[in-house]
Amino acid sequence: MAFRSRCGYRSTRIAGISSVDVLTNFQIRLATACLFLGCTVVAAAPPGPAAGRQQLVDALDAAWVRALDEGEVRQIVRRHKAEDLVINIADCLPDPQVTGFPAEPVGLLRNILDSGVIRVGYTDTGTLDADSTAMYFNAMGDELIAAVLARISRHYGTKPIQRVTVSIPPPFRNTEYLNTGKADMLGLVNALGGSTEDDLRRRKARRYTCTMTSTRQIIWVLKEGGPSWQTVDDALAAEGAHFCAGPLSNELTKTYFNQKGQSSRTEFVADLGRCLPKLVNGKAAAMISPLPHEKYFPPLIDVDGDGKKETATAGRFRPIDSMIVAGTPLWVAID
């Protein structure tokens, strides 16, 4: 173990001899002087998991930049037929020369490399099916994360890193799961612009990587009989309008579309199956969603609440581009 004093003393370790520290003559004299001067000798904490949290972020960024540079990211997006769904925000350019891997992994990154396991937290929003917006992102996001982790293990020459999913139930205390060590990082579940469960800016309360997935936010309205809005400004000026949103547009809707008399509700489970009927029956003026085309909607919805999906969605709704883009990174604890 290494020791430090307030006088600046530090021991040295004999290479090849386990748990043995020796003092140089100078250090012995310094330690003796400390006895007379009142210095306090304290043990320096060994590098724990917290020491490698920023290194984990740096390694994830380095792997992401190389996946961008070699075209792997676009291949994954195309494989999931999401070319019109996912936007690449250029907050990390595909330039490997300026985004390197940490040279000497310690703490959390070292533990992950040695164990071959990383615990990834995800919010539990129930079953994902055609009624859920998240269905179009989860599998693609998992593959993007897997590609990044594979590059990290290859770079360091370690065993493949396996993901262990940590399910975070409502009320989704994601930051707490990071800070208490229940999860090593969060998956692609929280956008950069939001706040934590304690009303802190996520950018200040957590570490974060390059933006990995970004989406336009679309205002969907009923084509016949819905609002006559043509632009986002029309929507923002609509006094008394009620908006419905899914989990991927939650905080954005609550903060942007909260003008005079406006209200919103987030449907965390089966958001498409619950929001779209509200547009038809007049319970909501619009749905805020990252889905840019009605081809992503379920073909039939239950409008009257009888449990039968009998109303077709094709041709029933029209989109308005909000000109707002939300981006999501991976998240790591800051402390």
Amino acid at 244: C
Strand order in the sheet with 206-208: 162-168, 117-123, 185-186, 331-333, 206-208
Q: How is residue 78 written in tokens?
A: 């195309």
∠ CA 180-182-187, rounded to 5°: 115
Host H or E run for residue 320: strand 317-328
CA dihedral 194, 197, 202, 206 (to 10 degrees): -150
Query: Could you state, in chain order, the average pLDDT of each consecutive group of 10 residues for the chain (335 residues)?
Result: 34 33 40 43 46 95 98 97 94 97 96 98 84 94 98 98 95 93 95 89 95 97 97 98 96 96 95 97 97 96 95 98 97 90
pLDDT given at position 125: 74
243-263 burial, b at 16+ Cβ within 10 Å, e below that, comes to bbbbbbbbbbbbebbeeeebe
Please check whether residue 335 is in contact with residue 108, taking contact to mean a CB–CB distance below 8 angstroms.
Answer: no
Length of the chain (residues): 335
Q: How is residue 217 written in tokens?
A: 């936010």
Q: How is residue 310 written in tokens?
A: 């009998």
Other C-beta atoms lying within 10 Å of the C-beta of residue 111:
17
DSSP secondary structure string for all residues of 101-160: PPSS--HHHHHHHHHTEEEEEEE-----STT-TTHHHHHHHHHHHHHHHHHHHHHHT-PP
DSSP SS3 for 178: helix
**β-strand partners of 5:** 41
pLDDT given at position 49: 60
CA dist., res. 284 & res. 265, Å (int) = 9
pLDDT tens, position by position, 97-106: 999 999 999 9
**31: which DSSP letter?**
H
Maximum CA pair distance of the chain? 88
pLDDT given at position 47: 47
DSSP secondary structure string for all residues of 34-78: HHHHT--EEEPPP--GGGGHHHHHHHHHHHHHHHHHTTHHHHHHH
CA dist., res. 316 & res. 82, Å (int) = 22
Bond prior to 169 in cis (omega within 30° of 0): no
Handedness of CA 274, 88, 68, 103 (dihedral sign): negative
pLDDT tens, position by position, 209-268: 999 999 999 999 999 999 999 999 999 999 999 999 999 999 999 999 999 999 999 999
pTM of the predicted protein model: 0.82
Host H or E run for residue 216: strand 213-222
Helices and strands per DSSP (H, E), number in the chain: 10, 16
∠ CA 310-311-313, rounded to 5°: 135
pLDDT given at position 197: 85
CA dist., res. 33 & res. 10, Å (int) = 14
Amino acid at 273: G
pLDDT given at position 224: 96
CA dihedral 189, 194, 195, 197 (to 10 degrees): -30
CA–CA distances in Å: residue 100 to residues 27, 87, 95: 37, 24, 10
Domains and CATH numbers, the chain: 3-43 (no CATH), 51-210 (no CATH), 215-327 (3.40.190.10)
